[in-house]
Amino acid sequence: MRQRVATQLTAGLAAAVLLTGCGGSDESSEDAAASSAASSSSASEETGAEVAADAADALEEAGAAHVTGTIGTGAEEQAIDLYLQGEDATGSITVAGQEVQLLTVGGVSYFQGPADFWLSSGVPQEAVDQLVGVWVVVPATEAAAFQQLTLTGLAQELRSPTDGAVEDEVTTEELDGEEVLVVTQADGSSLYVAADDPRYPLQIVNSGDDAGTLTFDGFGEEQEITAPADALDLSELGA
């Protein structure tokens, strides 16, 4: 059972982890650059990598942020609502239509799912009652992916995206009536950064198979994030 549940949860969150790298667009880098140039004016002499690094620095200095958005389309769409604080996180991610609560504290990740989530993960009906409303420790083999869903992990991804190089040209657009700097990745995905200091990352927009948008707010607004008492280790339940 441990392997089936771990596979279900990890697959559902994979797109969320990857989106922080702004990857997955079907648009070529040439088309993306042309589109960006047509819709935006040129910004400062800073490169895209420098602006992205500024955003990472501002995020880390804030110490906390709220991230919301969706990833995927149709039946594959997933919703994210997370508070990130240093290397900790709390909130929810929708997996296969089921809202799963996620918590990361002190390098250990936990999740809590409704009955339908456990049933769709292959858990026998007779065992579901033991799991509903219970915090479960994420298996060690899957835990590394969850570390990217933290403020620290996101800042690292902004500095060194895993899914393609950042274009040198930085353009400007308006987001919610305010001027922002736009950093474009080689695959066409975009990072929107506040034009004024502090240069917070405000939005990540991705297209292609992992289409979606993540929006950031609540910078510096810390939450009380504590480890759950009596969390269950799935390995103790057997296969």
The DSSP-derived string for 7-47 is HHHHHHHHHHHHHTTT----S-HHHHHHHHHHHSEE--S--
Domains and CATH numbers, the chain: 2-230 (2.50.20.20)
Residues 6+ apart with CB under 8 A from 84: 64, 65, 66, 67, 149, 150, 151, 154
Residue 237, pLDDT score: 55
* Environment class of 41 (CB within 10 Å of its CB; exposed 0-12, middle 13-18, buried 19+): exposed
Inter-residue contact 3 to 235 (CB < 8 Å) = no
The amino acid occupying position 144 is A
For tokens 């809202």, the residue is 99
The amino acid occupying position 18 is L
**Mean pLDDT for each consecutive 10-residue tract of the chain (239 residues)?**
40 38 38 39 75 96 94 74 93 84 89 86 81 85 72 88 81 94 87 95 81 92 92 66
Residues 6+ apart with CB under 8 A from 160: none
The SS3 of residue 68 is strand
Residue 31, pLDDT score: 41
When computed from its CA atoms, the radius of gyration of the chain, rounded to whole angstroms, is 19
* Environment class of 238 (CB within 10 Å of its CB; exposed 0-12, middle 13-18, buried 19+): exposed
Where does residue 209 fall: left (phi above 0), alpha (psi -120 to 50 degrees), or beta otherwise? alpha
Question: What would the two tokens of residue 94 be?
Answer: 């929708």
Residue 5, pLDDT score: 41
CA distance readout (Å), 193 to 52, 93, 153, 181, 210 = 8, 24, 18, 5, 21
